[in-house]
Amino acid sequence: MKRLAILTSGGDCSGMNACIRSAVRTALRMNIEMIGFRKGYLGLMKGDFITLDTKAVSGILHHGGTFLQSARSPEFRTPEGQKVALDRLHEAGAEGLVVLGGDGSLSGALALHRLGFPVVGIPASIDNDIPFTDMALGVDTALNNIIYAVDCIKDTASSHARAFVIEVMGRNSGYLASIAAIATGAEYALVPEREFDLADICQQLRGRYEEGRDNAIIILAEGAGQAHQIADSIKDAIGFETRVTVLGHYQRGGAPTVFDRLLASRFGKKAVELLDDGTCGVMTGLSCNNIVATPLEEVIKGEKRPQDDLLRLAEVLGI
């Protein structure tokens, strides 16, 4: 194997740079050249790539985001777009491709694999909604960002006797909301995976208020409802003020945590080794602290289930 390519696609996350660096350094040690396509599948279809040598990936490990940039490309979803991408890969002399991204990007990787091109996917999305890996890249950093923000908001919530609805990202997944609620001692986590009764929650908040507990933190997964609507319902039903904070894209950036730096480095190395070994059409994953490979076919048709012990923990802690 002489030359491999790498790209970052979909929503960016912290740890992508550390992962690119690891893949490049691993490849160079194996005398494999590395190129990086800019802006995900969009750049791939344009043949927009740079050579990645040691210098290109130095000083990037601790930065959030992705220096190769990311994008969403509807055109790549079409057979025509994928054919163009394939042509560009061949023109660039790439013999394999490493794709970092979420479930959409990994579906794209599977499409290229089905067309016969050697691809390895790396799960990278703060949503942690990708099966066959305990954690995706960027999740730990996003959670640390969230708990920092929630801790800050708790201070002002208690000073002003207010209830806060704090909306976190996650698309259709409640993972970030659930874990953040456990880690911050929030009163409620409202997630798409579990039905909730707003009237019941309001009644409980009212009861707490009458017992003298005059502030509350409700962490809302973005896929579970409208933050302002929920806050308005609560305001009408309880005796104290409500406020809404939408954490938004703040969650996705910042220096990666040690966990994400290590995971990124392990995923990057593994992806290159797999391709060099002739194993393709797979995704790297973390399972019981081991780095494993699962066929993309399985990943894409699989479903990430919330961990039972975490759900029980949330229940025991009254969330």
Cite the active site residues: 127
- What's the closest the beta carbon of residue 253 comes to ligand F6P, in angstroms? 11
Closest-CA residue to 109 (of 44, 65, 169, 53):
44
The angle that helices 227-237 and 198-210 make with each other, rounded to 10 degrees, is: 50
Contact (Cβ atoms closer than 8 angstroms) between residue 177 and residue 224: yes
Q: Which residues bind ligand ADP (CB under 6 A)?
A: 9-11, 41, 72-73, 76-77, 101-105, 107-108, 111, 125
Assess 182 for contact with ligand F6P (CB under 6 A): no
Decide which of ligand ADP, ligand F6P, none touches 67; Cβ closer than 5 to 8 Å per partner kind. none
Assess 170 for contact with ligand F6P (CB under 6 A): yes
Site for ligand F6P in 248-277 (CB under 6 A): 252
- What's the closest the beta carbon of residue 73 comes to ligand ADP, in angstroms? 4
Decide which of ligand F6P, ligand ADP, none touches 73; Cβ closer than 5 to 8 Å per partner kind. ligand ADP
- What's the closest the beta carbon of residue 103 comes to ligand ADP, in angstroms? 5
Neighbours of 298 (CB within 10 A): 12
Site for ligand F6P in 124-143 (CB under 6 A): 125-127
Dihedral in degrees, nearest 10, Cα atoms 111, 114, 120, 124: 20
Contact (Cβ atoms closer than 8 angstroms) between residue 15 and residue 60: no
Assess 25 for contact with ligand F6P (CB under 6 A): no
Nearest-angstrom CA–CA distance, 137 and 259:
9
Nearer to ligand F6P, 170 or 174 (CB): 170
The footprint of ligand F6P on this chain (CB under 6 A) covers a number of residues equal to 10
Write out the two tokens for 238: 């309880």
Decide which of ligand F6P, ligand ADP, none touches 170; Cβ closer than 5 to 8 Å per partner kind. ligand F6P
Nearer to ligand F6P, 74 or 79 (CB): 74
Nearer to ligand ADP, 72 or 243 (CB): 72
Nearer to ligand F6P, 74 or 212 (CB): 74
Nearer to ligand F6P, 171 or 261 (CB): 171
- What's the closest the beta carbon of residue 163 comes to ligand ADP, in angstroms? 32
The one among 64, 102, 174, 256 contacting ligand F6P by CB under 6 A: 102
Neighbours of 89 (CB within 10 A): 24
Ranges assigned E (strand) in the chain: 3-8, 33-37, 49-51, 97-101, 119-123, 162-168, 188-190, 216-221, 241-246, 282-287, 290-295
Closest-CA residue to 142 (of 159, 124, 158):
124
Nearest-angstrom CA–CA distance, 199 and 133:
36
Nearer to ligand F6P, 88 or 252 (CB): 252
Nearest-angstrom CA–CA distance, 114 and 78:
14
Q: Which residues bind ligand F6P (CB under 6 A)?
A: 11, 102, 125-127, 169-171, 222, 252
